[in-house]
Amino acid sequence: MPKEVMGYLDYPIPEQSKSYLPSQDILNFLESYADDFKVKEHTKFYHIVLLVEPKGKLWTVKVKDLKNNRVEEYEFDSVMVCNGHYSTPFIPKIQGQDSFQGKQIHSHDYRIPETFENQRVAVIGAGPSGMDIALEVSKLAKTVILSHHMTVEIKTQFPENVSQKPEVVSMTGKEVVFRDGSSEEVDYIFYCTGYKYSFPFLSEACGVTTEDNHVRPLYKHLIHTRFPTLCFVGLPFYVCAFSLCDLQSRFFLRILDGSLKLPSTEEMDADADEEIERRRKCGLGRRQAHMMGPLQGDYYDDLAKTAGIQGIPPVMTKLHNESSQRFLDDLVNYRNDVYRILDSENFVQVK
């Protein structure tokens, strides 16, 4: 994403000539944020959360101190779950994959393209990681097949050794069979199929389910409808991530300080069900329950209006969606684009 949509409203990424920054620059930005707001002073490092469990109106939290190898127990008034959702790989079940005679890897474990030199590679999934990896691996691989079910046309001009195919439906030996009936032999299956929402530290008493990556029961993708002092920050994807997490955190704080009175459990559940139905009518399945993309602006506005807090300027959504389309249209060159935000509604591409 361009840096213009990656900062915080009150702490933007410093101005510079490029829009697309290397990961080290983003890490430096986050380190500066943590230093300026003294985040590290209030953080316990080298502790892993073992259990989060409701106890009356409080929460019991057990953690392991990794340095001293001891378990500690605390009680809190509220809990914010902010463990992200890019650590537990999701690999779809495909007929014959257990006996596939080539190698299989998930994008989570990808490091260098040299591994695939002169190999025949099938990349499953055309999200951001799938597109990026297909292009990068193609520089050394013999052939690359990008297998996906996208209905939006991918206009990117890939190298000649990259072809596109529909979903893989089965595997036999080293042969993969696609939904259109065609088949190809490959040496590697590369799963760029995303991740699972995972909360192994939540007790069963929390009543949280993640069936098909739909985290429930949540009000506005955020608040547990039965335990409203438990929230999940950062579940939505295809969003302006830093600003989203900031907005969700401010929403939750309004609940904690009593400024925002929540509807009843039944009303919150009904609100969530109504949104899922709206998404279904837009063609989104359960696995897209927390996907935003073009819908993100409405979500930001809803949170801000409901809690009476500052929202995210519309220009952020517009630029995020524009840059996402550019990614699909010109994967090779989109990182050379340079943007400038003019005001809360408008931006220009200056290069």
Question: CA-based angle 222:228:233, to the nearest 5?
Answer: 25
Q: Looking at residue 155, what is its pLDDT?
A: 85
Whether 291 shows a pLDDT value over 80: the answer reads yes
Residue 153 is predicted with a pLDDT of 76
Please state whether 70 falls in left (phi above 0), alpha (psi between -120 and 50) or beta: beta
Is this model's pTM higher than 0.85 or not? Answer: yes
Domain extent, residue 135, equals 97-191
Report how many domains make up the chain: 1
Q: What percent of the chain has pLDDT over 70?
A: 100
Q: Closest Cα to residue 188, out of 174, 173, 172?
A: 174
Asked if residue 233 lies in contact with residue 303, where contact means CB atoms within 8 angstroms, the answer is no
Q: What pLDDT, in 10s, does the model give residues 313-347?
A: 999 999 999 999 999 899 999 999 999 999 999 99
Question: What's the average model confidence in pLDDT over 204-223?
Answer: 97
Contact between 318 and 339 (Cβ < 8 Å): no
Q: Rounded to whole angstroms, how far apart are CA atoms 189 and 103?
A: 6
Evaluate whether residue 77 is within a structural domain.
Answer: no
Residue 246 within a domain: no
What local confidence, expressed as pLDDT, does residue 152 receive? 76
Confidence of residue 206 (pLDDT cuts 50, 70, 90): very high
Indicate which CATH number applies to the domain containing 138: 3.50.50.60
Q: pLDDT, tens digit, for every residue of 98-109?
A: 999 999 999 999
DSSP state of 287: G
Q: Write down the mean pLDDT value for the chain.
A: 96
> Tokens standing for 300?
């930001």
Q: Is residue 232 part of a domain?
A: no
Q: Is residue 257 part of a domain?
A: no
The DSSP secondary-structure symbol of 15 reads: P
152 versus 342: the higher-pLDDT residue is 342
Distances in whole angstroms, Cα of residue 17 to Cα of each of 13, 101, 257, 340: 12, 48, 41, 10
Cβ atoms of 88 and 108 closer than 8 Å: no
Considering the domain boundaries, does residue 132 fall inside one? Answer: yes
Q: pLDDT at position 146, please?
A: 96
pLDDT-based confidence at residue 154 (cuts at 50, 70, 90): confident
Mean pLDDT, residues 199-205: 98
- Residue 81 falls inside a structural domain: no
Q: Where are the beta strands (DSSP E) in 98-155?
A: 103-106, 120-124, 143-147
Q: What pLDDT digit, counting tens, does each position of 28-86 carry? A: 999 999 999 999 999 999 999 999 999 999 999 999 999 999 999 999 999 999 999 99
The reported pLDDT for the residue numbered 351 is: 87
Q: What is the pLDDT of residue 150?
A: 85
Distances (CA, A) of 214 to 3, 45, 235, 289, 291: 29, 30, 10, 6, 10
> What is the rounded CA–CA span in Å between residue 347 and residue 343?
7
In a domain, 164, yes or no: yes
Residue 205 lies in a domain: no
**CA–CA separation, 48 and 180 (whole Å):** 47
Report, as an integer, the average pLDDT of 238-264: 98
